[in-house]
Amino acid sequence: MNIPVQPDAPGMTSLTYEHGGNAVNIIKRNGKEVEYDGSKIIAAVEKANNEVSEKDQLLASQIRVVEEKVARKLKDLDHEAGVEEIQDYVIESIQEEGAFHVATIYTVYRYKRELVRKSNTTDDKILTLVEYDNEEVKEENSNKNPMVVSVQRDYVAGEVSRDLTDRLLLPHDVVEAHKAGIIHFHDSDYYVQHMYNCCLVNLEDMLQNGTVISDTMIEKPRSFLTACNIATQCIAQIASSQYGGQSISLAHLAPFVDISRQKYRRIVKREFEENGIPLDLEKIDAIAEHRTAEEIKQGVQTIQYQVTTLMTTNGQAPFITVFMYLDEAEEGQTREDLALVIEEMLKQRILGVKNEKGVYITPAFPKLIYVLDEDNITEGSKYWNLTMLAAKCTAKRMVPDYISAKKMREYKNGDVYPCMGCRSFLTPDRFSPEGEKRKYYGRFNQGVVTINLVDVACSSNRDMDKFWQILDERLELCHKALRCRHERLLGTTSDVAPILWQYGAISRLKKGEKIDKLLYGGYSTISLGYAGLYEMCMYMTGKSHTDPDTKPFALRVMQKLNDKCNEWKAAENIDYSVYGTPLESTTYKFSKVLQKRWGKIKDVTDHNYITNSYHVNVREKIDAFTKLKFESDFQKLSPGGAISYVEVPKMTDNIEAVLSVMKFIYENIMYAELNTKSDFCQCCGYDGEIQIVEDENGKLVWECPNCGNRDQNKMNVARRTCGYIGTNFWNQGRTQEIRERVLHL
């Protein structure tokens, strides 16, 4: 739950109150979950009651009625209430008893306590972090373990940064809109520092021209294995200098395969000569090729295991995506070597990595993307064997995800390139001189602000004219917040992150040089995110956006977002772009604030999550092919970032079905993935799907269907939640969303 409770506010301390045999829990302001105690409500109301004249006082029986009303309301909720919500219920119940003077006294006390709290809330929240007592943070990020000290250190720093951001750096209206869930100002815990979001790493530049890591010169590698080692070191350094995802291309590593091959030919030839063996070039080449293959295996293993085991300064593995596109390498030996590297990458991912029990499981990183194109999409095509291997890998380990070169060329001015991290796409290159190679690697995203479309709809009260008016106002608020992100980066010198700005990951600026020129002219992007298109349509029209009558309205809203971005871009020469927000923990936050503001509206606010971006709602019955075809129209209008998925059962015995989906992706949609299942119970060895069930208190928990194990520390669960695979479990809202996903195949 995202709304905490302060212990010294009226009625907000932690004693027990039972309803129907089950304890009702509340969340304190510091994020700690405690059991509700009705006696505290009674004490708080009695205190306010004693402040008014006798004729305006509540009777003792009425005070008990006030508490009982609050308790009933809390019991009916499907989430743990926070302080503001409970206090609203107290005031509402007092007023229902006709004691308006008492309600006023209670409200004044509440306001005074709020002023006092502003001086120490951050301190209190930090203490709950280090004591592993903050329910909000425990499941805020499904790839961070909050028990680990490095994660706690990052969270502590984040709380301090967020506090400074809210009080000193952001405009008041932006802060209040973020707190209210009207917009989401992403990664505010990193805003104090001059950091950007995500990027495409120019690994080619760093490897071919050398780089510097921790003041140490790293020269051009002389073997494939060394190149892989350097790449992983670069990945770790880059991840510690930004807060979002990064992507590298295997095409930048492929040229080093032949360097190793030529090295082994020289070595083998020398071995023949030293041992008096007649020179046989065919045998020499065969031995050299065998040793090269072994080095490819070692190099890929280095990438997989180092990425999985590396921990950046924010206490998690780097959010890294590996791009596999055959046509990115020159035709000939380099492309054939790239095919060998891709093949090994897929084989090792199919195998997985070992958990603490020595059992192979699905790792979260690196995320893999495989590009479907003419030379690998049909049986008998040159690289069909790689596509078959990719299908087997998807069935077993949920990756790779798939980019259709055919559709991407349509959307991106003929270019094919990876997303930055899980889904954020650069705008097509508009700055390179005519005739030069188009530039994508070394570019980045400045940051994201997301608009809550569901709240826009609810605020309009189904008045279409008012809806468009409110949408305009909220978009301008997002624009203001995005300008804050942009201006926070203006004036940043290259010295803040030398690996990025001076040594090739992004650019080769001089020491002390400002990065400003990279913030304009389309070199970098900045993202207008959006969430809840489905719920917006349900509120405004009573129908899903999959309904033919409602789809035009949904597309019109999407076009409006694009029109605004184009308007801002034309005026400021900054590449604003519409971005399909992944909403990991924020889906829960948005749902809670919507319920608080508007109550529970069927199919709009009655779940603990809202739908990511343009996606078909997880509960809607639709087949895989219809879903992908439908969502393709929305991907076109989400140029700054989008990914579609289909939810499928275990597919290891049905590779043909996986291939049929892949072929459909190639013909119909730019970027999509298959969500398979990949779990393991450490108690009994079960390797099927771990289930989500309700415990005796109504909380959603994970349970092995074979042995009943519910200990999250003794199971490995991997689920796709926001483009990346998550392996560290999720908050109650996201868990409910995962539980309610229908199968599309």
DSSP 247-314: EEEGGGTTHHHHHHHHHHHHHHHHHHHHTTPPP-HHHHHHHHHHHHHHHHHHHHHHHHHHHHH---TT
Q: What is the largest CA-CA distance in the chain?
A: 114
pLDDT at 314: 57
Residue type at 262?
Q
Separation CA 507–CA 499 (nearest Å):
9
Residue type at 48?
A
Distance of CA 181 to the CA centre of its chain: 18
Which residue among 140, 344, 584, 673 is the active-site one?
584
Which residue among 1, 12, 195, 198 is the active-site one?
198
Q: How far are the Cα atoms of 352, 354, 363, 715 from residue 359, in angstroms, in the given order?
A: 9, 5, 12, 11
- Alpha-carbon dihedral sign for residues 694, 700, 704, 707: negative
pLDDT at 726: 76
Residue with tokens 């709809």: 457
- Alpha-carbon dihedral sign for residues 40, 133, 702, 79: positive
44 backbone φψ class: left, alpha, beta (φ>0; ψ -120 to 50): alpha
DSSP string of 418-435? Answer: --BTTTB-PPPP-SSPTT
Which residue among 579, 588, 614, 671 is the active-site one?
579
683 is catalytic: no
Q: Could you tell me if 397 and 663 are in contact, meaning their C-beta atoms sit under 8 angstroms apart?
A: no
pLDDT at 87: 87
The pair of three-digit structure tokens given for residue 512, joined into one six-digit string: 């002390």
Which residue among 49, 141, 197, 577 is the active-site one?
197
Which residue among 141, 202, 424, 716 is the active-site one?
424
Q: What is the pTM of this model?
A: 0.84
Q: Could you tell me if 97 and 90 are in contact, meaning their C-beta atoms sit under 8 angstroms apart?
A: no
The pair of three-digit structure tokens given for residue 255, joined into one six-digit string: 């040229």
Separation CA 7–CA 48 (nearest Å):
17
198 is catalytic: yes
Separation CA 348–CA 549 (nearest Å):
47
Nearest to 526 by CA among 644, 424, 411, 418: 424
Which residue among 195, 228, 324, 420 is the active-site one?
420
331 is catalytic: no
Pairing of strands 320-324, 246-249: parallel
584 is catalytic: yes
Question: Could you give the angle at the alpha carbon of 643 between the alpha carbons of 642 and 648, nearest 5°?
Answer: 160
Separation CA 254–CA 141 (nearest Å):
34
Separation CA 293–CA 225 (nearest Å):
11
Nearest to 580 by CA among 524, 644, 529, 634: 529
pLDDT at 25: 76
Separation CA 147–CA 64 (nearest Å):
41
89 is catalytic: no
Separation CA 346–CA 124 (nearest Å):
47
Separation CA 480–CA 474 (nearest Å):
10
pLDDT beneath 70: ranges in the chain: 1-23, 28-33, 78-79, 111-155, 311-316, 722-723
Which residue among 141, 143, 314, 445 is the active-site one?
445
Separation CA 139–CA 445 (nearest Å):
26
Separation CA 85–CA 11 (nearest Å):
12
Which residue among 206, 398, 422, 681 is the active-site one?
422
Question: Per-residue pLDDT tens for 356-401?
Answer: 889 898 888 899 999 999 999 999 999 999 999 999 999 999 999 9
Question: Per-residue pLDDT tens for 259-283?
Answer: 999 999 999 999 999 999 999 999 9
Nearest to 362 by CA among 308, 407, 316: 308
Q: Residue 429 gets which letter from DSSP?
A: P
Q: How far are the Cα atoms of 325, 629, 630, 645 from residue 616, in angstroms, in the given order?
A: 29, 11, 9, 10
Q: At 599, is the secondary structure helix, strand, or coil?
A: coil
374 is catalytic: no
